[in-house]
Chains A and B, each alone.
Chain A
Amino acid sequence: MVFAMLILLPYIYVYQTFLESHAYDLLADSEKQLYDIMEALTQPFVGSDPENELDAIKGTTWSGNFFGFMISDPLAGLGQFAAGLSLHPPLLMAILIPVLLTLLFGRFYCGWICPAIFLYELNTNIRMMLKRMGLRVGSKGINLNLKYYVLAFGVLLSGFFGTVFFASIYPPAIIGRELFYAIALGGFGSGLVFFILTLLFDLLVARRGFCRYLCPGGALYSLLGRYRVLRIQRIVAECNDCAKCNAVCELGLDPLNDGFGQECNNCTACIAICPTDALEFKFQIKDVAAQGPGHLGKKYLYPSAEDQAAQVE
């Protein structure tokens, strides 16, 4: 959905510039088509002054403007602070809401809002196809802490170059920009090359490797969400140890052994696939320590005396 929005917004922008020029007759046929489609789409939402009213939603998930509220990625604030040792007050306000939400809900941005995740998950599917075709795909395990070093290194480089370095290595920022370039300005920027490299990294080195090992934004969100309130938990009484949750977890976590931690991005894939509904959201500051094998599974393996009696009958 976020991805669709990022495609729609540049088209709305192009439509706005057509409106602004007040020259429908001079547009080319394809432009007229676009104009008509966008007019039909936006008509219900705007009043008498569409070219200015459509400014209400602008920007990307890196930094956007929603009905007068500015919302920015916390990484943008951190980058600006690192680059110039000062933080523009409106930007501080803009990152406040995401920071608070992350403190409560952890790394939810990565699972729900990040526009790059759509492409990364498609990439995982391609990975599966390649695997089925018998090609070798890498699945290296790297230390999960590598991304925190990337974050620290990015802060240092931002200070060194005097520019917000994260903007060029952070996939959501790149995706938002490149979609805008491609649709509204024509042509791609150089960030696309980097993004394709990350896709290849995921394909050839490790499943979702960029998000897990390298993404500076993921690192920042994980750090902020260390003591979050909302966590997924396994109800040990319901669990039958089928391990489907571990197989489906995009981030390679270990739900079967209660291994969620700060890395979990609340994507709910494990909750959705669990055949016995043994995983659920709970409000708690700490994860439960490993609870051992699920009780339901034990029941399967070693039927109790009552069950045996029932079977005999």
Chain B
Amino acid sequence: MQQELKKSSCDTIAPSVENTDRRNFLKELIAGAIALAVQPVHAAQNQPSIRFLRPPGSLPEKEFASQCIHCGQCSAVCPNRCIRYFGLENGFASMDTPYIIPREKACILCMKCGDICPSGAIQPIKRALEPIISKVRMGKAVVDRQLCLSWQGKTCGVCYRACPLADVAIRVGLLEQPHVLDKCVGCGLCERSCIQLPQAIRIIPDYG
């Protein structure tokens, strides 16, 4: 009898408040769990701050991550020793995947890595001007005119001379001032050779 009373009083005083609270709480909990679970995938697809320069002929980042089998052959065939591998610093998905730091060693566009890649993450591209321009999308060079010697009035032009696609990817104007053209593939030889410290020309990786 007492119990019944208690129950009824509870109902009248706070009609199912506790119930909805709990339901909301559970909802939030589940939503939070799902958000947490989905997060790594989401983060891997959408990293505006972390960008890495992949070897020439690489697929767009998401496809690259799913195709690459982390075998390490692209570096084993690179004659310039420019391809290195991530550890765990960018998360699990990019562990042991290849990247290039152009300031230390830039790609010389020999296209051997695409030929040897067994997984299709790096597509084979013929080593000739036309296929390289149309298919390689590593990134694009950007000139910082505040740092660039030529733009500051001291004739330099080193980046133009380092470029393997000179006059196609980069052009120089008055005082050898560099202008990067649309056909730049992002190999990074300009960034590697820039005599300014820090470099006045940088590759912004393409995330296609």
Flag whether A24 is at the interface (Cβ < 8 A). no
For the complex, give the distance between the alpha carbons of A128 and B82 in Å: 44
Pick from A16, A65, A167: contact of B69, CB below 8 A. A167
For the complex, give the distance between the alpha carbons of A70 and B118 in Å: 7
- Smallest CB-CB A-B distances: 5 pairs: A84-B66, A88-B120, A167-B70, A63-B71, A83-B66
Given A161-B40, A163-B92, A177-B96, residue A10 in contact with residue B66 (CB < 8 A):
no
Contact A13 B70 (CB under 8 A): no
- Chain B proximity of A174: nearest CB distance (Å): 9
For the complex, give the distance between the alpha carbons of A219 and B115 in Å: 31
Total number of A residues with any Cβ neighbor in B under 8 Å:
44
Flag whether B80 is at the interface (Cβ < 8 A). yes
Please name 12 pairs of A and B residues whose Cβ atoms are closer than 8 Å in the assembled complex, sorted by A: A20-B80, A58-B116, A76-B118, A76-B119, A79-B69, A84-B63, A162-B41, A163-B93, A168-B70, A168-B92, A168-B96, A177-B70
Flag whether B127 is at the interface (Cβ < 8 A). no
Interface residues of B (CB under 8 A from A): 40-41, 44-45, 62-63, 65-73, 75-77, 79-81, 84-85, 87-88, 92-96, 112, 116, 118-120
Interface centre among A16, A60, A65 (most CB of B within 10 A): A65
Given A65-B116, A190-B95, residue A80 in contact with residue B66 (CB < 8 A):
yes
Pick from B41, B44, B95, B118: contact of A168, CB below 8 A. B95
Contact B75 A184 (CB under 8 A): yes
Flag whether A259 is at the interface (Cβ < 8 A). no
Chain B residues whose CB sits within 8 angstroms of the CB of A190 once the complex forms: 87-88, 95
What residue of chain A has the Cβ atom nearest to residue B40's Cβ?
Answer: A161
Contact B73 A162 (CB under 8 A): no
Contact A88 B70 (CB under 8 A): no
For the complex, give the distance between the alpha carbons of A136 and B191 in Å: 58
Q: 12 extra interchain contacts, Cβ-Cβ under 8 A, other than A162-B45, A163-B44, A190-B88? A: A9-B76, A20-B79, A59-B71, A63-B71, A63-B119, A65-B73, A162-B93, A163-B94, A185-B75, A189-B87, A190-B87, A191-B95
Chain A residues whose CB sits within 8 angstroms of the CB of B72 once the complex forms: 59-60, 176-177, 180-181
- Chain A proximity of B116: nearest CB distance (Å): 6
Contact A16 B79 (CB under 8 A): yes
- Chain A proximity of B117: nearest CB distance (Å): 9
Flag whether A173 is at the interface (Cβ < 8 A). yes
Pick from A59, A90, A160, A173: contact of B76, CB below 8 A. A59
